[in-house]
Amino acid sequence: MIYDYIIVGAGSAGCILASRLSENGRHTVLLIEAGGNDNSFWFKIPVGYARSYYNPAVNWMYSSEPEAELQDRSIYVPRGKVQGGSGSINAMIYVRGARDDFDDWKSAGNSGWGYDEVLPYFRRLETHARGSSEWHGAEGPIHITPMRGMTHPITDAFLESCGSLQLPLNEDFNGASIEGAGVYDVNTNNGRRSHSSAEYLRPALKRPNLTIERYAQAERLVFGEDGRVTGVDVIQNGTRRRFTAGREVILAAGAVGSPQLLQVSGIGDGKALSSAGVETRRHLPAVGQNLQDHLCASFYYRATIPTLNDEFGSLFGQMRLGLQYLLTGKGPFSMSVNQAGGFFRGRPDEERPNIQLYFNPLSYRIPKDPKAGLKPEPYPGYLICFNSCRPTSRGSISIASGDPSAKPLIRPNYLTTDRDIDEVLQGSRLVRRIASASALSSLTAEEISPTPRVESDEALMDYFRENSGSIYHLCGTCAMGPDQASSVVDSRLKVHGVPGLRVVDASIFPNITAGNINAPTMMVA
């Protein structure tokens, strides 16, 4: 069968594309997904993401190459390998990004991508709990829930500390401005994960013109004699199959998967492809370049009052929270553990907010052993995590060989600019200022790590290099732009010089957005 459109990847973007392209009934659409269905209860319940964090059945579980500026550590890079993609396994913080982020997309030569032009699509995307407004929609598939009023009491102390330092308070990070301290919104609906798989794809799968093939990993693109992309070769349950597209193939495999598939298909930097043993079909040097991510680290504190550590740390507490969730759909199981935070200027002279914070009334450390699971610290505690909003370091995704089943080489090149190093120090000092303000310090017994002894710039940088990790916002590797030497797709997301092929996912971001990138990824789709 020949389909009008073939979409590779049923992630946050692919699920929306499948719905939108099939909704008028005139086009046949095939959606290819390397993983299985996300119908497990644990994908529906917000805190279920802890069970998918180290689960190879639903997670690609990538790791970066050793990072020179992070003491040669390999950084863990989870990516969803399941219907819904990373949107099925993320922590659901819903942040659009700052106005400047999208205005910068437009000023880079991408007509139609300025903030005022993308805002209607953000509004179309959502049903916000507060209803329709200048900033929010009330008829979209994705349900947005403000966590304000439902957070742990110690969160109020964080906000009060920010206010006492004359840091602005913000009721809505997705409103007129992103700047300030506040409580995050999450994409949930009556206590359940509200993502593109549940809200766009599942209803759309009832249409006769939409087909999904699961456990089907794309191996290579298929080309016609004229160089046009005409289909995709996949391996499904051990059998190789070829699917043909009459109109277009659309890659929505994410910031890692999309450039990898382009490269194994012969689209990329010719010299690099030759080194990997791949014949070049289209020399496009920007494929896999421009990799951006948010790099974060946490400061840990012991509290003088009970926190979520006390409840999550005991079987009885977990059972009580589970019962609360089952009976009411509310409580910590219905929310993200990243409850508050905000966007701040690390120094007063910064032109725009450049540091994002997360305040978490549950302190835990990522275990090095995947079998250990995510467990809270054995004391009442909280953590404050920070990252740069717009890091300037750039990395790459590249293939080591033409084998499509081989994991790609992920090189983020974290902390390779002076600007990024300076912002680590800004963020570290900002965390300390907030934790030292009276409202929060009155509920704090001690700073567990890095400890007050870590005070100098050099010591703070050492702590960050030893303890930082990805916050899983990889993007930019098939960047949008007019110049074929520095970008991969044009402003219509068509791959430069390759007819019949588009990329629609976070890889097309010219620059990373401030905040979590799931919302802008869905907007793009």
Q: Which tokens in the block code for residue 137?
A: 């929609």
Catalytic residue among 128, 152, 195, 473: 473
Cβ partners under 8 Å of residue 470, min gap 6? 64, 75, 76, 77, 293, 294, 295, 296, 412
Angle between helices 115-125 and 99-107 in degrees, nearest 10: 130
CA distances from 441 to 13, 300, 376, 436, 444 (A): 42, 13, 21, 5, 5
Q: What is the largest CA-CA distance in the chain?
A: 72
Distance CA 224, CA 226 (A): 5
CA distances from 500 to 223, 229, 245 (A): 9, 5, 9
Q: What is the 3-state secondary structure (H, E, C) of 307-363?
A: CHHHHHCCHHHHHHHHHHHHHHCCCHHHCCCCCEEEEECCCCCCCCCCEEEEEECCC
Indicate the residue type of 236: Q
Q: Which residues pair with 297 in a beta bridge?
A: 386
Closest to 472 (Cα-Cα) out of 53, 97, 6 = 53
Distance CA 324, CA 206 (A): 33
* Contact status, residue 510 vs residue 479, Cβ threshold 8 Å: yes
Distance of CA 293 to the CA centre of its chain: 9
Distance CA 356, CA 344 (A): 6
Phi, psi of 456 (to 5 degrees): -70, 160
Closest to 337 (Cα-Cα) out of 363, 316, 357 = 363
Distance CA 10, CA 107 (A): 31
Number of other residues whose CB lies within 10 A of the CB of residue 117 = 14
283 is catalytic: no
Q: Which tokens in the block code for residue 367?
A: 């275990």
Distance CA 100, CA 105 (A): 9
Closest to 16 (Cα-Cα) out of 518, 525, 494 = 525
Distance CA 258, CA 209 (A): 25
End-to-end CA gap in the chain: 25
Distance CA 298, CA 359 (A): 10
Q: What is the four-CA torsion angle of 495, 496, 499, 501, rounded to 10 degrees?
A: 0
Give the residue numbers annotated as catalytic, written as ranges.
473
